[in-house]
Amino acid sequence: MAGPVRGDDRGGPPAWPGRGSGPWEDASRHSGAFPQQQQQFQAEEESPEPRRLVRPYTVTGGRTKPRYKLALEALVTATVYEPRDLSVLAPECQAILQFCLDWRSVAEISAVLRMPLGVARILVADMSADGLVRIHQRDDSEGRPDLHLLERVLSGLRKI
């Protein structure tokens, strides 16, 4: 077969384990809120994309790291059994509670409620610590899904 063959020097991905940090670690090299906001201001000024009315990380108080790692597919549900005055919550948090009446992933929260993934992760982790939501995610230390889980996925896929 004519054409290029893999192995050419084409600027591939980083060596594994990757040098990268997850999005929950974005901007982690910047300690305070202010430099981060300043950066976003500069980025927005030069970006052709429409501006947001509120800067994305304002609602997180400038924090760019959640309390703990949340997978993209981590599932979130509102805990309804605890009566609380929700009007004190930020509108974004109220929206998350509304949206998570059924189980929703962190990725869906970000996509449907139109908030950057990093912001969704921080808010969900905070809300979990405050007992507003429950989170279901597989433990990082488990690595890849085990055979039993894969069998369930396989039989599920065959049925759809």
Site for another protein in 19-48 (CB under 8 A): 19-24, 26-27, 29-30, 35, 38-40, 42-43, 46
Q: At 144, give phi and psi (nearest 5°).
A: -75, 160
Burial class (CB in 10 A: 0-12, 13-18, 19+), 160: exposed
Task: Identify residues 97-156 at the interface with another protein (CB under 8 A).
Answer: 103, 105, 107-108, 110-112, 116-118, 136-138, 140, 142-147, 149-154, 156
Smaller CB separation from another protein, 73 or 130: 73
Burial 86-115 (b: 16+ CB within 10 A, else e): eeebeebbebbbeebeeebbbebbbeebeb
Nearer to another protein, 87 or 141 (CB): 141
Instruction: By CB under 8 A, name the one of 10, 51, 81, 85 that touches another protein.
Output: 10
